[in-house]
Copies of this chain bind each other. A is one copy, B any other.
């Protein structure tokens, strides 16, 4: 016999956990007693969840989170939704009050705790007995890691941790499944028969380790490669001659971009993610389209065409093995050379020029996304992280987590508005001495919104003025070294300084 805490630690170890992300509260304390690995504290739960997500995605391991009951859990649910869309394997534990006082609606007691994180978890449980907590945790990890991966939730009463229980036996699981060879054959036939075939790559390709397989397939079969709308990971070496560019989330622009192609394989993405209403066909009329994905949701809403479910990397490898060599004849994505002025495009170009070779980009700067595509090419596996949900407040803590999950410099490119959602994440960046350069693209506004307002015939959007924020001070107040950059001349020095530091630094870059 052992106790729940020791048995739970054994579960954590079995699934490769090596740290705990959390924000502590009284109903969670006994979990932490004699904890055998580091505790990474975030100053609120949105920060905690963002860090855990970044860590899980960059390390390839499940992340373990501990939150305070109801209110603490609630603070995390914005970034939990993002983790859900990011397919990040995260096991979220949350404290619950002691079982014996739940009948009296105690302080810090959670009512219907397993309902609170829904619908954005794959599984949620409060075990029926203290001694079943370790089994619930083991199940939670298995569910989180089954593709399509995602967060799960376990509510644990505070008095459970000291209770006696058996040490659970833990399974060895093979959870990735391969596409049906008959499905792969259909895709192969489509590509083989095409005049000008294309491959569209979405977030799930990188999540599933398909970077090399995509390159190999594209090169062998002569495919033009596009990044899917709102891809939240690196898709393909953006300096590769076969990289054709980025597809926008407008239906007509999708058709325009893909117009040259008569056969389209979409890997690891929906067909397609839209931002606004549109009409007409979802892809060029006359073209064939098939989707290969490990996420059934990508197929259940497929508007025609064909779909094959299964591990994407395995599928891409099978296709590469099956298809004959063919020369690439398509067009290549082009970068631009923006003028030297305090605008996003120029700043991004200088980041591209000065970044360490293996630097990882984490981004949440909606107005910088478009210029980024033509100035700051992503060229390595594990080289890019953003959020798949469109929710702001992820990437600042996300960058801290990404930095913990791998060994290279992280450059966090953040809008001023985006950065403010979870600005207290800087404190953990400092406490943990993570190797992150926070680069604030500060335009003193929610500029994506004011820009977008034309879609609705609006001249003015209230609540978009962010003037007056001093990010260098916000960083220094939390321990980071920081600089404000107000003119082009100071930019390179500031970037070089920040990129050379191993400690976290922040640049407040004032752009127009």
Contacts and interface: CB of A to CB of B under 8 A. Distances in A.
A431 B463 CA distance: 10
A119 B121 CA distance: 14
B180 A180 contact: no
Interface in A464-510: 464-466, 468-474, 476-479
A99 B33 contact: no
Contacts of A392: 44, 71-72
Interface in A112-144: 112, 114-116, 118-120, 123, 126-129, 131-132, 135-136, 139, 142-143
A393 interface: yes
Interface in A7-40: 22-26, 29-30, 32-33, 35, 38-40
B456 A101 contact: no
A309 B180 contact: no
Contacts of A114: 112
B177 A179 contact: yes
A257 B458 CA distance: 48
A275 interface: yes
Contact of A29 (B25, B73, B458, B466): B458
A313 to B, nearest CB: 11
A5 to B, nearest CB: 11
Contacts of A464: 24, 41
A275 B262 CA distance: 52
A75 B391 CA distance: 9
A103 interface: yes
Interface in A198-246: 229-230
Contacts of A272: 104
Contacts of A474: 473-474, 477-478
A235 B82 CA distance: 41
Q: Report the contact-size class of chain A (Cβ under 8 Å from the partner).
A: 35 or more
A262 B490 CA distance: 72
A74 interface: yes
Nearest to A23: B463
Given A26-B452, A174-B309, A104 B303 contact: yes
A50 to B, nearest CB: 11
B24 A393 contact: no
B170 A103 contact: no
Given A71-B390, A106-B273, A473-B473, A41 B463 contact: yes
Kindly list the 4 A-B residue pairs having the minimum CB-CB distance in the complex, ordered from nearest.
Answer: A71-B391, A169-B304, A174-B183, A74-B78
18 contacts: A24-B449, A39-B463, A70-B78, A71-B389, A71-B393, A74-B77, A75-B421, A101-B277, A105-B270, A106-B275, A112-B119, A116-B118, A146-B300, A159-B277, A174-B179, A175-B299, A177-B311, A178-B310
